């Protein structure tokens, strides 16, 4: 079994992370929505007011997986939460324990930071991921739906 290393992402990882984001988008059939560049990602992860954080997994010096996350807040708990935006492991490295290791790493980080929740979304057709997450102790919330406003609708709602 190949040894993997988990570590916080650095600015030098942004090109590799964007490559993995593109692979994820192809898998999810959403590649037409990807506009992120290494420069924009670097600004959001490492700029003056970071919007998110990332952890990468390396094998043989190559970034083969990532998890991108940020802090949210639960009004009911009165505590911060950790929200996993995306987790992706390249197909050649699936089944190696990397996905589990990334989730465990982020759960430990959530505990360390005093978070009341660790949560994320999963596509309803991704049965493999749903089974994997449930095996890890996650509850898939059947009664909740994501609401999203983007582009012209966001500008209109914001008064633009």
Which residues are known to be catalytic?
133
Tokens for 35, please give them.
């506009």
- Beta-bridge partner residues of 81: 72, 117
Q: How far is 118 from 24, CA to CA, in rounded Å?
A: 21
Q: How far is 134 from 131, CA to CA, in rounded Å?
A: 5
Which residues, 6+ apart, have CB-to-CB distance to 140 below 8 Å? 122, 130, 133, 134
Q: How far is 116 from 135, CA to CA, in rounded Å?
A: 20
Long-range contacts at 154-159 (CB < 8 A, ≥ 24 apart): none
């Amino acid at each position: 079994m190949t040894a993997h290393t988990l570590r916080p992402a650095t600015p030098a990882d942004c090109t590799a992370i964007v490559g993995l984001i593109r692979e994820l988008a192809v898998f999810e059939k959403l590649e037409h929505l990807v506009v992120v560049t290494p420069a924009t990602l670097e600004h959001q992860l490492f700029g003056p007011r970071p919007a998110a954080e990332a952890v990468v997994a390396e094998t043989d010096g190559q970034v083969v997986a990532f998890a991108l996350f940020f802090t949210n807040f639960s009004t009911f708990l009165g505590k911060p939460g950790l929200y996993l935006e995306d987790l992706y492991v390249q197909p050649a490295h699936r089944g190696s324990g990397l996905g589990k290791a990334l989730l465990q790493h982020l759960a430990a980080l959530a505990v360390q930071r005093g978070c009341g929740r660790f949560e994320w979304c999963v596509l309803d057709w991704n049965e493999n991921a749903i089974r994997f997450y449930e095996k890890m102790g996650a509850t898939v919330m059947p009664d909740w739906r994501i609401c999203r406003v983007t582009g012209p609708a966001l500008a209109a709602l914001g008064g633009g």
